Structure 1
Amino acid sequence: MGYDGNKSERISHRIWLLTALLACLLLNVAYSSNLTAILLSETNELPIKTLQDIYDRRSEYSLGLVGDTFAVDLFKFAGDNDVLLRDLWREVISKDPRNIASEKANVERCLEDSKHLAIMDYHYYIDNFADCRLTVLPEKVITASISFPMRRNHPANPIINFELLKMSESGVLQKLLARWHGGGRACESELLHALGLAETYTAFVLLAVGVTIASVLLAVENFT
């Protein structure tokens, strides 16, 4: 009575196709959510954080110093009270003549070799060689303060102290410090960047397959 024998078959095909498309959408959503979670999570763990870490993994990493600086003497002539510095000099730094070089040479070597670390003045590095491909380790190896010695009870001492305190309270010193040591560019903006098709095309492969199957089935149904 007017029953189309192919109707149920076509309906089943459409149900299967709808199920496949929904599966593709679910996979796409799952992939996108996992990708977003990975990008937003702080998962970068530094393999080396301290001098002790460098010594413990001395067979893997090299340590460089800036030639003709106090840092070289600090490591080279370290006594029994600085066992770590002494051992680093004997077993790591002095093993390779390239480990004593200029700031520029050390930075270039760090960029070329991910297993090389260098100790240098932080502000000088930021002002002249800062590179977002490099990371400054959290440990400060050498800390020093700059001072100008003056004779005790010098008549100019109270005046200088008053002016410095006044500059500090007014924020002038902070502005000068930011101007003098404000070199380098911020790297935070480069941590997250727009993803192109090359990074995300796999998320749409199944969806494209579903669309292709739907087009083929539609053509077959129209000609049968």
Structure 2
Amino acid sequence: MIINRKGTINPAHPHARDIIDEEMEVPILAHWVHHEEKGDFLLDTGLDAAYSTDPKGRLEGTDVDVFQQNKGENIAKHIEQNGINLKTVFLSHLHADHAAGVRELPKNIPYVIAKGEYGQYHPKIHGDFLEGLEELYEIDFSRATLMPPLGLGVDLLGDGSLWAILTHGHTPYHVSFLVNTLAGPILLAMDAAFIHENLELGIAPSDYTWNVKKAQETLDKIIEFLGEYPQVRVGPGHEI
């Protein structure tokens, strides 16, 4: 996808210096988590095959998001190629670049978001990605564990291997994920940080963002957490 650096790194932040107004091409990511006992899970879905032939994914309207995708890069193809037996999909939020792939995935498994996030879903803008789902499961953060300095976290699989962290800002109920892998812990910030430069400069995005102040507060917490736990690797939402 194409984003603008001047919106990706908030130029109004007091520490911003010479943020260039330029377009950047960044990847759209979905994360596959394999649990030795509980099976395969997705954290976000990326795009479905429609985007390989149509940048709007067969959606109409001037507000529809536009993306680039080569043939065979859609999520269902990756599922097939890797022999993934998908058990559950956890979604960070419902923007098209994170949820469009739902259209071509099985509908007989749970799809999970933070409670309240569905209220931000606008089919005319974000697409018909949830059609066919009988139920959208919700994470209730009112019963979550406080995980200073990050905030509220929920143990998704019950064994501490995968946590959902409520990270307000990009959307009102955006979620990041902490994965305790065999190679060590990884914090998948999702769109709480678009690219590594957000983390390096300590400056959150301003464009594509529901609340810039809350997005900055969330990024500050993430940076503090990474400072306290340097063994944790971090992955932004649109950079490897």
Q: TM-score higher than 0.5 here?
A: no
Tell me: higher relative CO, structure 1 or 2? Use CA pairs within 8 A at least 6 residues apart: 1
Task: Kindly indicate which of the two structures has a greater share of residues assigned to helix.
Answer: 1
Q: TM-score, normalised by structure 1?
A: 0.30
Task: Kindly indicate which of the two structures has a greater share of residues assigned to strand.
Answer: 2
Q: TM-score, normalised by structure 2?
A: 0.28
